[in-house]
Structure 1
Amino acid sequence: MLKLSKLATAVVLAASAGTIPAIVHAGEVEVLHYWTSGGEAKSAAELKKIMQGKGHVWKDFAVAGGGGDAAATVLKSRVVSGNPPAAAQIKGPAIQEWAAEGVLANLNAVATAEKWDTLLPKVVADAMKYKGNYVAVPVNVHRVNWVWANPEVLKKAGVAAMPKTYDEFFAAADKIKAAGLIAVAHGGQNWQDFTTFESVVLGVGGAKFYSDALVKLDPKAINSDTMKKSLETFRKIKSYTDPASSGRDWNLTTAMVMQGKAGFQFMGDWAKGEFLAAGKVPGKDFLCAAAPGTANAFTFNIDSFAMFKLKSADAQKAQNDLAVAIMSPAFQETFNLNKGSIPVRLNMDMSKFDDCAKTSAKDFVETAKAGSLVPSIAHSMAVSPAAEGAIKDVVSQFWNDDKITVADAMKKISSAAATK
């Protein structure tokens, strides 16, 4: 549970900082989100345009920070103060935690009228519900286990193709390093460390091992030889990053690949939104491939908005219109073309999408059937926020401190996984 009563001090701090806006006006829809980079901001602007077209006043409440941690803190403050936004960007198990607090609105009327149960894959629909009731609306599906590359850097280094295994990846990284360039662009923030780590675990151990270790948090899997190899591989990747990576935002890291300063980046397909926003052409200016060893698996991250209980009938109408707008085919297409993700609706026309997106859409369906579609732990889709945060901290400590042994890291991850 979120234990909202313990956040009273956060409310005082937020109020003194001037971050708690006044009560919303009738017809106004205040949306708390953390889409602040180029491709993301462009996507949010499309939703604003649709809502304004319906006669509503859009109140943008953007909180910077790609992983959403800062936004989550501000949201808690707002809810404790009795002044929640109309909608907030929340996802994964956190949706159910908020619903258990009794603060989320029931969206069943909209969901039934719009036939969400037939438009959404079951794994997605289930994530949007609490005790069988819709309390959130999904926006898109991101594939997390991607590697992005600059083809000119690969050509200069003599790398013929995107690596499919970690042996091939490290051989390519050695060539890029020898060419005087950065092999792996990385932003030293804990969620970026964790994003890379989960792709390594998936690539080294496969989907079943990933599920056992990072979704079920099985102690046997966490303390296995496969986890040992995963941590060793993860640490080796660190040796190909640049010394200035600490604290670097993910979009600035993507820019390093875009500008030809680095060869590869491990990042979800929101990175593609940055390439596209800069006018880059997939297959020509940048390359995409599943992270080494993960071609037949898919780690998903679903952006979604939970709707909070509001008393005003006008505000409730605005919420319902927002939910309908998010799921509309037109918005699903426009938004995902900007964001780099794929539509969450089934049977969407993908003709306007690039080859990276078409591959993602195909793999999403196929991995769902094969049982290798797994939730991203790094992006709050797999475990409780408390366990995720504890494991995330351990992974970053291991990444940043070479004195921490692999054996110690495994023990610490096992302990962190027990966090409630």
Structure 2
Amino acid sequence: MRMVAVIAAAALLTASACGSGKNDTPPPATVEVFTWWAEGGEKAGLDALVARFDADCPGQRFENGAVAGGAGVNAKQELTRRMARHDPPDTFQAHAGAELLDYIDAGQVEDLTAYYESWGLRDVLPAGLIDDLTVRGKIYSVPANIHRANVVWTNPAVLAGAGITTPPKDLPAFIDNLAKLKAAGVEAPLALGRDWTQLMLLEAVLITDLGPDNFAGLFTGRTDWRGAPVTKAVNDFTTLLGYGNLDRDTLDWPQAERLLIDGKAGYQLMGDWAAADLEAKNFPGYGWFTFPGNGNTFQWLADSFTLSTGASNITGTECWLKTVSSATGQQLFNEAKGSIPARVDVPSSGFSPYQQSAMTDWKSATQVPSCAHGSGCSQAWQSAVNAALRSYSTSPDPATLQAALAQAATQFVRP
């Protein structure tokens, strides 16, 4: 019996010794973060955010679920497939605002309102943004940044060659400048890309011709898509298309931007992610101005993150969301990506001149959402509008386009 006891004691000591080794440390829990940030400034921003997450969230490991594709088109399709087979990532990137309605209605994302209270986000995010993020009294995503959609980027050398040295003060002056560029032999005075980039241009024109309040009302049912101001905007949009490149439907925005860089275009309407991209492509001498006639209007979109219903690692996802929403996380991410913090308490030092000007405007400008980027309309509505624009490219009839826009609003507008 004594021998049995000795053997048992030795076995216990051996087990204890094994248990105290370094290999006994549990492996980190994985947080799958699904994005479409796969290259350029977007990837650099994500890497900066991941480094902060690693520091803030010991015991958690970031798993990159990135799916590349302009404006998230490919990622959204893959996310839809995963949701359909009940295989959600822990958290996924989505444009904040109305784009989330489909996920909310399907019960695929969790209510994050309590985090806004406990993390003090209501005190550091603009009230207008909070209002746009709120759906039926609840908030379902945390914004990582803010982008501005209604910006025109310029090639100053091309403009100077046509005698243009100052930004146009209004839309008629902008059209005059486009005519000057065309007369000077510029191949595509206004660089254009595929459907959603054309929707961005249409929205900028609508802001000019309707004003910010009536523009925002287009997506709530307050403003009639069949009205005379929209008719004028569609006609102005048609005029602008006439100064663009004929192959616009085959180009994504970086290919259209290449026309600007190569001197084949004078202007491009694009979101302010273009600033980081232009610098990355060694074209730092670009110019910019708010779309003519938009005045002090900031058309916003935000990349945001959710907590998926059925997430396998809720604790890790909460830590990711807290990092995303923190002042330090937003500073590191946006400095690299070229966007600006959604928070208004982040210092502007360390940001580019463009970003500093946008940060100032974000605090004071009139904020309106973007249908092209999901803050103003649902994905289904956005798809219907993009389809109408594709049809318009092959059969350009302004009345038909306006009717299609009105029909989409009738079908998809929600209170």
Tell me which amino acid in the other structure corresponds to 2:200. Answer: T
Tell me which amino acid in the other structure corresponds to 1:393. Answer: A
Post-superposition offset of 1:119: 1.7
Check whether the contact 1:144–1:301 (CA below 8 A) recurs between aligned residues. Answer: yes
How many residues matched? 382
* Partner residue in 2 for 1:34: 36
Tell me which amino acid in the other structure corresponds to 1:199. Answer: A
Out of 399, 408, 414, the position equivalent to 1:416 is 408
Task: List per-residue Cα deviations over 1:118-152 (Å, max 9, x = no partner).
Answer: 12122323444555444321111111111000111
Q: Aligned pair 1:272/2:266, yes or no?
A: no
* Partner residue in 1 for 2:48: 46
**Percent identical:** 27
Please state whether the residue corresponding to 1:154 is helix, strand or coil: helix
Tell me which amino acid in the other structure corresponds to 1:144. Answer: A
Task: List per-residue Cα deviations over 1:242-271 (Å, max 9, x = no partner).
Answer: 223322121222233233332100011111
Task: List per-residue Cα deviations over 1:66-117 (Å, max 9, x = no partner).
Answer: 2323222211221222211011112322324323333323445543332112
Runs of 4+ in structure 1 off by over 6 angstroms are: none
Q: Distance in 2 between matches of 1:190 and 1:353?
A: 31
Q: What pairs with 1:17-416 in structure 2 (closer than 5 Å)?
A: 27-53=29-55, 54-55=57-58, 56-90=60-94, 91-108=96-113, 110-181=115-186, 182-187=188-193, 189-212=194-217, 214-218=218-222, 221-281=224-284, 285-310=285-310, 312=312, 315-367=313-365, 372-398=366-392, 400-401=393-394, 403-416=395-408
Check whether the contact 2:100–2:378 (CA below 8 A) recurs between aligned residues. Answer: no
Check whether the contact 1:129–1:136 (CA below 8 A) recurs between aligned residues. Answer: no
Bigger Rg, structure 1 or 2: 2
Tell me which amino acid in the other structure corresponds to 2:191. Answer: A
Stretch of structure 1 that moved more, 357-366 or 146-155: 357-366
Post-superposition offset of 1:277: 2.5
Against the structure 1 CA distance between its residues 151 and 409, is the aligned structure 2 distance closer, same or farther, given a 3 Å change threshold? Answer: same
Tell me which amino acid in the other structure corresponds to 1:290. Answer: T
Q: Distance in 2 between matches of 1:157 and 1:419?
A: 45
Please state whether the residue corresponding to 1:173 is helix, strand or coil: helix
Q: Distance in 2 between matches of 1:186 and 1:321?
A: 40
Q: Distance in 2 between matches of 1:224 and 1:131?
A: 29
Tell me which amino acid in the other structure corresponds to 1:124. Answer: L
Task: List per-residue Cα deviations over 1:261-296 (Å, max 9, x = no partner).
Answer: 321000111111212333543xxx011100010122
Q: Distance in 2 between matches of 1:77 and 1:411?
A: 32
Task: List per-residue Cα deviations over 1:20-60 (Å, max 9, x = no partner).
Answer: xxxxx961121111223422122122222223344432222
Task: List per-residue Cα deviations over 1:209-266 (Å, max 9, x = no partner).
Answer: 3123x32245x63222221221111111111112233221212222332333321000
Q: Distance in 2 between matches of 1:128 and 1:295?
A: 24
Stretch of structure 1 that moved more, 31-40 or 93-102: 93-102
Please state whether the residue corresponding to 1:140 is helix, strand or coil: coil
Task: List per-residue Cα deviations over 1:382-408 (Å, max 9, x = no partner).
Answer: 12322232223223322x13x442222
Against the structure 1 CA distance between its residues 351 and 231, is the aligned structure 2 distance closer, same or farther, given a 3 Å change threshold? Answer: same
Tell me which amino acid in the other structure corresponds to 2:271. Answer: G
- Gaps in structure 1 of 5+ consecutive residues: 1-24
Stretch of structure 1 that moved more, 334-343 or 372-381: 334-343
Q: Distance in 1 between matches of 2:405 and 2:378?
A: 15
Please state whether the residue corresponding to 2:357 is helix, strand or coil: helix
Against the structure 1 CA distance between its residues 271 and 311, is the aligned structure 2 distance closer, same or farther, given a 3 Å change threshold? Answer: closer
Please state whether the residue corresponding to 1:147 is helix, strand or coil: strand
Check whether the contact 2:219–2:409 (CA below 8 A) recurs between aligned residues. Answer: no
Q: Distance in 1 between matches of 2:116 and 2:214?
A: 35
Check whether the contact 1:28–1:59 (CA below 8 A) recurs between aligned residues. Answer: yes
Question: TM-score by structure 1 length?
Answer: 0.84
Against the structure 1 CA distance between its residues 320 and 199, is the aligned structure 2 distance closer, same or farther, given a 3 Å change threshold? Answer: same
Q: Distance in 2 between matches of 1:286 and 1:378?
A: 24
Check whether the contact 1:128–1:138 (CA below 8 A) recurs between aligned residues. Answer: no
Check whether the contact 1:96–1:129 (CA below 8 A) recurs between aligned residues. Answer: no
Post-superposition offset of 1:364: 2.3
Tell me which amino acid in the other structure corresponds to 1:251. Answer: P
Post-superposition offset of 1:166: 1.8
Q: Distance in 2 between matches of 1:95 and 1:244?
A: 32
Stretch of structure 1 that moved more, 157-166 or 93-102: 93-102
Q: Distance in 1 between matches of 2:348 and 2:256?
A: 28
Check whether the contact 2:90–2:311 (CA below 8 A) recurs between aligned residues. Answer: no
Against the structure 1 CA distance between its residues 112 and 411, is the aligned structure 2 distance closer, same or farther, given a 3 Å change threshold? Answer: closer
Tell me which amino acid in the other structure corresponds to 1:299. Answer: Q
- Gaps in structure 2 of 5+ consecutive residues: 1-26
Q: Distance in 1 between matches of 2:233 and 2:133?
A: 32
Task: List per-residue Cα deviations over 1:179-228 (Å, max 9, x = no partner).
Answer: 332211111x211110111001112221123123x32245x632222212
Stretch of structure 1 that moved more, 84-93 or 33-42: 33-42
